Amino acid sequence: MLDLRLIRRDPDAVRSALARRGPQVADSLDRVIALDARWREATQAAEGLRAEQKAASERVAAGKREGRDVGGELDRLKLVSGEVKALGEQARGADGELQELLRTLPNLPDPTAAEPDDEVLRIVGEATRRDGGRDHLELAGERIDMERGARLSGARFAYLRGDLAMLELALVQWALTKLRGHGFEPVIPPVLVREQALYGTGFLPDTEQQIYHLPADDLYLVGTSEVALASIHAGEILDAAQLPLRYAGFSPCFRREAGAAGRDTRGIFRVHQFDKVEMFSFVEPDAGKDEHERLLAIEEEILGELELPYRVVNIAVDDLGASAAKKYDIEAWLPGQGRYRELTSTSNTTDFQARRLEIRARGESGKPEILHTLNGTAVAVGRTLIALLENGQRDDGSIALPAVLAAFGAPAELPAAVT
């Protein structure tokens, strides 16, 4: 949610920032401004009359106490009451329209968000097997069981079996341990949430066709634990001295992938359910940019220790999503596809989510202030497994695994798939 006061104070700056997301977005802003003016006018009229009504009402109360006849006053007040109601109705109507429209406006992009295209910031590590290697499905064999997964649940579902199941748990345990060392509190959140949590994080209205809905209970399956982590402090006024607050969520993630038909259909690159360790930070407004770089640095540290070649991309304004002001993706080199593909993503959502979720902090000034939130992928398990398999593959089909995982229960290496 954008700051209405900022819109009033500096509409031109907001308009030109929004214009980077497209002309129709900037047009909505003008309607917001008009509705706001209408609302303020109606509100002021309603509140003025309401003040009179209250004063008169107190006179009636006093009169009754003293045993005076207040019949005439009451008749007059009945008329006032009707007017107050009508004016209040007008104000509420304008406010309703205003809020509805305001909810559809995306966050203001950061001046340094890329435009018009994604910008590759750096390439780290050597992209191996540029001529193509085996892909993760060939390498995994029945350790990734798509056929039986499909028989059970349909397309884009898989069983992870044997060593890969253990490898997944090792990755998760390793990541959570590492993040804890970086000051993140490990959290296992609910994955079924109310609509409010999705509005609060900006996934609604925006990505409705991605989200599983359980109508019998009116609950939604989250596509990322970001939804639950952001809401952990919803409605709270935090002590600024406690900030930053950092959480590492581990959860399954569910995505309908409607509209992605035919895309990335092979293997577990794009599936309906996967596990993910997610970082989430609550920070003071002026600490947001540094925190974003920090999250990116942790993501790079993780990929580095996993010995995966990658590149860092500053995502273009059109691909930011509603809540992000700026977003970095890290794309790992996948020999099986012969290209870099998204493995992690970190967004600075500034005050956009915090305002919707009413998360504030009280600092030196004593005034509660909307804080800033950021999120970033630590380990998207499925895609990380793909990258580990494809980059670790040897000519004989066996797979070398990074040393850091062994201490967390991962096999030292994976034998070639039986064919």
Partner RNA sequence: GGAGGGGUGGCAGAGCGGUUGAAUGCACUGGUCUUGAAAACCAGAGUCCGUGAAAGCGGAUCGCGGGUUCGAAUCCCGCCCCCUCCGCCA
DSSP 125: S
Which amino acid would we find at residue 129?
Answer: R
Kindly tell me which of 50 and 129 has the beta carbon lying closer to RNA.
Answer: 50
The reply to whether 406 sits near RNA by the rule CB under 7 A is: no
**What tokens were used for 157?**
């579902």
DSSP-assigned states of every residue in 40-71: HHHHHHHHHHHHHHHHHHHHHHHHHHTT---H
Residue 338 CB contacts under 8 Å (≥ 6 apart), including other chains: 130, 132
Binding mask 50-69 toward RNA (x if CB under 7 A, else -) reads xx-xxx-xx-xxx-xx----
Kindly tell me which of 81 and 273 has the beta carbon lying closer to RNA.
Answer: 81
Kindly tell me which of 80 and 101 has the beta carbon lying closer to RNA.
Answer: 80
Closest CB 213 distance from RNA, rounded Å: 16
Which amino acid would we find at residue 253?
Answer: C
The tally of CA atoms less than 13 A away on the side-chain side of residue 376 is 27
| Sole window of 120-128, 296-304, 358-366, 403-411 interacting with RNA (rule: CB under 7 A) | 358-366
Do 387 and 401 form a contact (C-beta atoms < 8 A)? no
Closest CB 358 distance from RNA, rounded Å: 8
Q: Which of 15, 362, 398, 406 binds RNA (CB under 7 A)?
A: 362
**Contacting RNA within 59-118 (CB under 7 A):** 60-62, 64-65, 74, 77-78, 80-81, 84, 92
Closest CB 312 distance from RNA, rounded Å: 37
Kindly tell me which of 271 and 359 has the beta carbon lying closer to RNA.
Answer: 359
Binding mask 216-255 toward RNA (x if CB under 7 A, else -) reads ---------------------x------------------
Which amino acid would we find at residue 223?
Answer: G
Residue 131 CB contacts under 8 Å (≥ 6 apart), including other chains: none
* Secondary element (H or E) of residue 331: strand 326-334
Closest CB 84 distance from RNA, rounded Å: 7
Closest CB 71 distance from RNA, rounded Å: 10
Do 352 and 374 form a contact (C-beta atoms < 8 A)? no
Whose tokens are 């003025």? That residue is 48
Closest CB 3 distance from RNA, rounded Å: 9
Closest CB 30 distance from RNA, rounded Å: 18
What's the CA gap between 378 and 323, in Å, rounded? 19
**Contacting RNA within 4-43 (CB under 7 A):** 4-5, 40, 43
Q: Which of 24, 366, 395, 396 binds RNA (CB under 7 A)?
A: 366
How far does CA 367 lie from the centroid of its chain?
26
Closest CB 78 distance from RNA, rounded Å: 4
Q: Please, what is the Cα angle at 270 between 268 and 108, to 5 degrees?
A: 145
Kindly tell me which of 244 and 368 has the beta carbon lying closer to RNA.
Answer: 368
Q: How many CB atoms lie within 10 A of CB 218?
A: 9
Active site residues: 255, 270, 342, 345, 383
The reply to whether 364 sits near RNA by the rule CB under 7 A is: no
DSSP 77: H
Whose tokens are 């609604």? That residue is 204
Q: Which of 122, 263, 286, 367 binds RNA (CB under 7 A)?
A: 367
Kindly tell me which of 85 and 394 has the beta carbon lying closer to RNA.
Answer: 85
Kindly report the backbone phi and psi dihedral angles of residue 333, in degrees, each rounded to the nearest multiple of 5, phi listed first. -75, 125
Q: Is 234 helix (H, G, I), strand (E, B) or coil?
A: coil
Kindly tell me which of 78 and 263 has the beta carbon lying closer to RNA.
Answer: 78
| Sole window of 49-57, 171-179, 310-318, 388-396 interacting with RNA (rule: CB under 7 A) | 49-57
Kindly tell me which of 70 and 124 has the beta carbon lying closer to RNA.
Answer: 70
Size of residue set near RNA by CB under 7 A:
32
What's the CA gap between 67 and 312, in Å, rounded? 80
CA distance readout (Å), 91 to 28, 41, 103, 110, 235: 20, 8, 18, 33, 25
Q: Which of 30, 47, 117, 301 binds RNA (CB under 7 A)?
A: 47
Binding site for RNA (CB under 7 A): 4-5, 40, 43-44, 47-48, 50-51, 53-55, 57-58, 60-62, 64-65, 74, 77-78, 80-81, 84, 92, 237, 360, 362, 366-368
